[in-house]
Structure 1
Amino acid sequence: MQLQRMLGLVVISVGVGSLMFAGCTQQRNFEAEVQAPTTTAQPQERQADVPYVPTPEKVVDRMLKLANVSSNDVLYDLGSGDGRIAITAVQKYGAKRATGIEINPELVQQSRENAQKAGVADRVTFLQQDLFQTDLSEATVVTLYLLPSVNLQLQPKLLQELKPGTRIISHDFDMGKWKPERVERVQGTARQHTIYYWVVPKNPYFS
């Protein structure tokens, strides 16, 4: 009888211990589920491909003169920064319209304010857009101050969307195998700047 009582106590102890262990295990798993962060992938907003470096006014003037901007022109400035090229094209060179494409919303707001101050907000538009997603087909002049790699990525889009005869002017950076029709250098305060000029051909092909 004594032996049976002792065996019974051992069985009861093991059973209680197993329940306690199971309970602790379930508790830990539950806590892990509660504490584990729930992550949902959020679409990331595209960041600028090019850092903002304003083009000196002296270079802006030379770019627009080289493009022979007139009242017949619709200018698109890709990566328009504070808006100075688009604003100057309308204010000083009489462009019919100008559109600045800029991905940074703060710079877009600043550009719109600058256009208001210059009195040309009715003819100058600034859009917060990815320049690779922008329809360029109405442009007769396109200005750029990007990077060599971005210029090369952009080249097929320019040749596909722009009409033959459209002028393209780039500050400082060329387009690889697409040789410019003219190259000019402008001495700035701190360094020399280079301006490249192309005209979109009727049958563009570059091997």
Structure 2
Amino acid sequence: MKRIDVSSIGFGEACDEGFEQLFPFLDDDESNVMAPIQFASLELVRSALQIAEICSKDKICDIGCGDGRFAIVSFCEYGVQQSIGIEIDSDLATLAKEKVKRAKELLSGDKERNSDKLIIVEGNFFELDEKQQALVEESTLFIVYLLKDKMHLLESFLRKQLEKGARFISILFPFLDWKPIKKSDDEKVLVYSKDSIPKSNCKST
């Protein structure tokens, strides 16, 4: 399967520095902000997917996808079966859909790809409809790029998915007290699997 480089799509400015330095005021537990509007560089996106050992059999779900770069890169450059980006902010969701449209134009000559499997969903991750939820639950690799004090909101969902064999990538921030199975040298990318869940939190069998 041909790898399609998406650099020409024109993703906006990115910053791979810690949000604590950039946005210290967002560490407030009472804030409704799940994640500041700040994008990972394409270099970090590709590195994260490689560290997670992404493969063509994977199905990706990016929770809070911003402009859709994780979803697009994983689908176009790594040939995953399905890639879904979920974004609650309407402006960002519109931007992501525009980027996806351009990505599909790049894929138009590749008969091996079903571009309908590259999807952006505008909405609240916790309020998806039945069809959208079913697509999410099929995913084998999740992307999480959230503030530390918001991680707990995904704990129950991610534990369930990991116990089914999925894994997830957290960008910049460690996920609660879970132990990553892999991480980048600079610890900006952390990969989690079923083995990451503290034993006391695992369901008994």
TM (norm. structure 2) is 0.68
Aligned match of 1:184: 184
User: 2:145 touches 2:170 (CA, 8 Å); kept in 1?
Assistant: yes
Once the two structures are TM-superposed, the CA of residue 160 in structure 1 deviates from its matched residue by: 2.0
Counterpart code for 1:133:
E
Structure ID, larger Rg: 1
User: 1:151 touches 1:173 (CA, 8 Å); kept in 2?
Assistant: no
* Superposition pairs of residues 38-77 of structure 1, within 5 angstroms: 48-77=33-62
Q: Distance in 2 between matches of 1:162 and 1:183?
A: 17
Q: Distance in 2 between matches of 1:199 and 1:180?
A: 7
Cα displacement string for residues 112-167 of structure 1 (whole angstroms, at most 9, x for unaligned residues): 11111112552211111212334332110001111112222211111124553211
Question: Is residue 153 of structure 1 aligned with residue 153 of structure 2?
Answer: yes
Question: Whose relative contact order is higher, 1 or 2, with alpha carbons under 8 Å and at least 6 apart?
Answer: 2
Question: Is residue 140 of structure 1 aligned with residue 134 of structure 2?
Answer: no
Question: Is residue 198 of structure 1 aligned with residue 205 of structure 2?
Answer: no
* Superposition pairs of residues 6-45 of structure 1, within 5 angstroms: none
CA distance change for structure 1 residues 197 and 52 in 2, over 3 Å: closer, same or farther? same
More off after superposition, 159-168 vs 138-147: 159-168
Aligned match of 2:68: 83
Helix, strand or coil: the match of 2:190? Answer: strand
Q: Distance in 2 between matches of 1:97 and 1:163?
A: 20
* Aligned sequence identity (%): 27
Q: Distance in 2 between matches of 1:178 and 1:54?
A: 24
Aligned match of 2:165: 165
CA distance change for structure 1 residues 202 and 181 in 2, over 3 Å: closer, same or farther? closer
Helix, strand or coil: the match of 1:92? Answer: helix
Where does the alignment leave 5 or more consecutive residues of structure 1 unmatched?
1-46, 187-192
Q: Distance in 2 between matches of 1:194 and 1:183?
A: 8
CA distance change for structure 1 residues 199 and 162 in 2, over 3 Å: closer, same or farther? closer
Q: Distance in 2 between matches of 1:102 and 1:137?
A: 16
Q: Distance in 1 between matches of 2:140 and 2:163?
A: 8
Aligned match of 1:124: 118
Aligned match of 2:81: 96
User: 1:137 touches 1:162 (CA, 8 Å); kept in 2?
Assistant: no
Paired residue total: 155
Q: Distance in 1 between matches of 2:196 and 2:189?
A: 23
Root-mean-square deviation (CA), in Å? Answer: 2.2
Once the two structures are TM-superposed, the CA of residue 204 in structure 1 deviates from its matched residue by: 6.5
TM (norm. structure 1) is 0.68
Q: Distance in 2 between matches of 1:68 and 1:128?
A: 28
Helix, strand or coil: the match of 1:122? Answer: helix
Helix, strand or coil: the match of 1:169? Answer: strand
Where does the alignment leave 5 or more consecutive residues of structure 2 unmatched?
1-31, 108-114
